[in-house]
Amino acid sequence: MKSSKRLPKITFDMVRYLILFGLLGGLFIHSFWKYGILNQVTLLILPKASAQVPFVSNNNGLVPDWSKMKFQDMIVSESGNVTYPTDRGNQTRTWQAGESIGDFMELGDFEDANLNIEKLNLKAISQALAINLDDLKLDDFGVIKTQTLSDLVKAIPDLANQSASSVAPIADFFRQMGISTNQRIGNVANYYNLDNIPLGNKIDLSKYKLTSIPGIENSSFDEFANWQDTLISDIPGLKDLSWNNFPSVPEPDLSFIGQVDLPLGDIEANRIRSISGSYQEGFNVPCKSHNCAHFEASGLSQTTGAQWISGKVQKVKGGYGILAVANGGLEPTGRHPFGKSFKQVVWDIDESSGSVNTAMFFRFCKTIFFVRTCTPYFIGPVPFITYHEKDPIIFGSPSSVPD
């Protein structure tokens, strides 16, 4: 005879308990969405921007102390990568959490940022940082690695009239090419077909002093061919150069200023008086979800009650051209009170202390097949300024606030 297991008897009390647990579960899920518990969970899971840059304070707002800002100190908290087409095939740029942006960002990423770092030269950097250029090798200067003879003559015009025999790396390059070293460098550049042969393909650049090419320290970086593709870390001293030494520093846009009035990290949903967004969507992008951590501003006219939404809980469209597809075409919502070099994003909000941590986010930019293109501002977060209730804050343009 087969044995059978007897099913447990369902009692009236058991039914009542099941109904009770169902109601409690439903209430919890409802509260999870409606009353901001999801906000709190989200803010706990995502990385914190726990430090901040040095800043100076005035009546208009807190402004970074550019004399203490360096690429070396700008550390990202999230890893990522971007693949894009070039005339040399697909290329990929990868970065890891904990890296400095100077380790993986290139000069060309800041070409539109009005910092004019491409107008710097090695002499200016060495003087600012007391670097002895005689201690460096040619391959320490990343720009040189792709230069042809013609490129060098264009970047350093005085080379044209010099004999190759007086410039060791060029003399060795000539020997490798079977060219007499008793000729002027400019003549060889004009009359020999060497335009597709970078010097670094024929000679070991690490064997020569940087100063073995006379005048190299006086040419600005943008005088060299393909300067945009050079890593910041491949320019001696540039990672450690404070931003106040750049030809231009970001000028705060004072057309729209206010105060941090009320940081709100939970019980917030469907905020429609937003002053945050992106260049592509504008800077009044409403938050139409149950996740709308933000701070409310105060100030003149409609500024009071305006909302700057946290970039942790809202993403908006960013970028343009081919690279706009990076990161799904999205970037954290925010503003640009200090220009295009980075985006300022509200990140961590602490209601108990009345503080708002902001972060910087960066982007890659390239000229691909003669067309300028940039990714969304999604590379970060890099800790920026922490504000407290009643601190003045610079919003920058535009100054529009929804009714």
DSSP H helices in 105-236? 122-129, 149-155, 168-176, 185-191
In a domain, 278, yes or no: yes
**What pLDDT, on a 0 to 100 scale, did the predictor assign at position 170?**
97
Instruction: Answer yes or no: is 148 within a domain.
Output: yes
B/e letters for 122-146, b = 16+ CB within 10 Å, e = fewer, are bbbbbeeeebebeebbbbbbbbbbb
Q: Which of 222, 245, 268 is the last residue of a domain?
A: 245
**What pLDDT score does 267 carry?**
63
Same domain, 168 and 254: no
Predicted TM-score of the model (pTM): 0.85
Final residue of a structural domain among 230, 245, 260: 245
Examine the domain organization and report whether 157 and 222 are in the same domain: yes
Residues 133 and 237 in one domain: yes
Q: Please give the angle made by the CA atoms of 342, 295 and 254, to the nearest 5 degrees.
A: 50
Q: What was the pLDDT predicted at 30? A: 39
210 and 255 in a single domain? The answer is no
CA angle 337, 342, 348 (to 5 degrees): 80
Q: In this structure, are 225 and 261 located in the same domain?
A: no
Distance of alpha carbon 240 from the chain centroid = 17
Q: Which domain holds residue 293?
A: 55-78+250-394
DSSP-derived secondary structure letter, 380: E
**Same domain, residue pair 156 and 123:** yes
Within a domain: residue 88? no
Q: Are residues 64 and 195 in the same domain?
A: no
Instruction: Specify the number of domains making up the chain.
Output: 2
Note whether residue 275 is domain-resident: yes
Residues 6+ apart with CB under 8 A from 158: 214, 215
**Residue-level pLDDT at 86:** 77
202: left (phi over 0), alpha (psi -120 to 50) or beta: alpha
Tell whether 37 is covered by a domain: no
User: Same domain for 111 and 71?
Assistant: no
pLDDT score at 21: 46
pLDDT at residue 6, rounded to an integer: 44
Mean per-residue pLDDT pooled into runs of 10, the chain (403 residues): 43 46 43 37 39 77 94 96 83 95 97 95 98 96 95 96 96 96 95 92 96 97 96 97 96 95 81 96 94 92 94 97 95 97 96 94 94 96 96 96 92
How much is the pLDDT for 266? 66
Residue 166 is assigned to a structural domain of this protein: yes
